[in-house]
Amino acid sequence: MYRTSGKVILLLMAAIVVPGVAVLLNTCAQKEGEIMNEKIETVSRLEAGKLKITVIYDNNPYKEGLETAWGFSCLISGAEKTILFDTGGNGSILLGNMQKLAIEPNTIDLVVLSHIHGDHTGGFDSFLEKNSKVTVYLPKSFPTKFKDKVTNCGAKIVEVEQPLKICENVYSTGQLGRLIKEQSIIVQTDKGLIIITGCAHPGIVKILNAAKDLLKDDILLAMGGFHLEWATKGKIKKIISAFKQLNVRYIGPCHCTGHKARTLFEKHFGKNYIKVGAGKIVTAADL
Ligand SMILES: [Zn+2]
Ligand SMILES: [Zn+2]
């Protein structure tokens, strides 16, 4: 009897202490990135004409001369900061493709890592060797060993748990999902939201809903890995109708979206389907 009530007391204590710790961590994170709450209002939207997204790393080919390999990485330029989103699976392919695209690693201010999988973080060490003067936004759930490695290189880290503002007009959805925690990036332009996903493990529709709820704006473009490589045709069709309901205007699925889903998306989105692969440059002005 005593043992049971002891357990109950422990559980009750945990229930009180855990939210307390969460509040504390939120406060710590606020020093680096601003956590989204009612106090943060989007003052102005980024002029879409300024924004450029360059796909550095993808398993789908696009630009001749670039190497393709399983993984994803892209450069977001034209916002307040120049951001590298994910780093692909292999450092020499990442840096080689960057060179071919005339992207200087030391012009990058921030790195945002979507999730821990090697096809998104594998090129990160090689990048850090070229430029460690960056701030790295990573899901809080990343292993301590990984975080220590980053800080030991001299880079700063921001552990992402809640949705937060990364820089002017650029936001993180916060780490979503249960098993594999993942953050996606949102750029708020004057034409609507651009959402870029790494692998979309939490579910692409869930991610888009989270972005829309957060910024209360229309979705101009969703691009990146949608994680539908192994999905059935039925599931893909359901996702397409969810996209239509959400009023997603343009889509650029790549990486782990898979050939079957890409073909179906292209069929349903027609001229609003963007063929994305290594070397593709998406200029928001054209959308
Ligand atoms: Zn993954
Ligand atoms: Zn992936």
pLDDT at residue 169 is higher than 60: yes
Q: Looking at residues 257-263, what average pLDDT do you find?
A: 97
How many Å lie between the centroid of ligand 1 and the Cα of residue 199? 5
> For residues 284 and 5, which has the higher predicted lDDT (pLDDT)?
284
Q: What is the largest CA-CA distance in the chain?
A: 72
Model-level pTM greater than 0.75?
Answer: yes
Q: Which of 39, 99, 35, 90 is nearest to 68 (CA)?
A: 90
Query: Could you say which ligand is closest to the alpha carbon of residue 181?
Result: 1
**Model pLDDT, residue 13:** 47
> How many angstroms does the Cα of residue 25 sit away from the middle of ligand 1?
26
d(CA 59, CA 224): 11
- Please give the C-alpha separations between residue 21 and each of 12, 25, 107, 233, 244, in angstroms, as whole numbers: 15, 6, 36, 43, 40
pLDDT at 30 (0 to 100): 38
Reported as a single tens digit per residue, the pLDDT across 4-30 is: 445 544 444 444 444 444 333 333 333
* Tens of pLDDT, residues 94-140: 999 999 999 999 999 999 999 999 999 999 999 999 999 999 999 99
Place of tokens 């440059």: 281
Q: What is the 3-state secondary structure (H, E, C) of 113-124?
A: CCCCCHHHHCCH
pLDDT number for residue 41: 59
The tokens of 137 are what? 């936004």
Q: How far is the CA of 177 from the centre of ligand 2 (A)?
A: 15
For residue 15, report the distance from its CA to the centre of ligand 2, in Å: 35
Q: Mean pLDDT over all residues of the chain?
A: 89
167, pLDDT greater than 90: yes
CA of 226 to the centre of ligand 1 (A): 10
| pLDDT(214) > 90 | yes
Which ligand approaches the C-alpha of residue 255 most closely?
2
Q: Which of 117, 122, 82 is nearest to 103 (CA)?
A: 82
> Could you tell me the sign of the dihedral formed by the alpha carbons of 230, 235, 236, 239, in that order?
negative
Running DSSP on this structure, what letter comes out for residue 47? Answer: P
In the three-class reduction of DSSP (H, G, I as helix; E, B as strand; rest coil), residue 84 is classed as: strand
Give the pLDDT confidence score for residue 31 in this predicted structure: 43
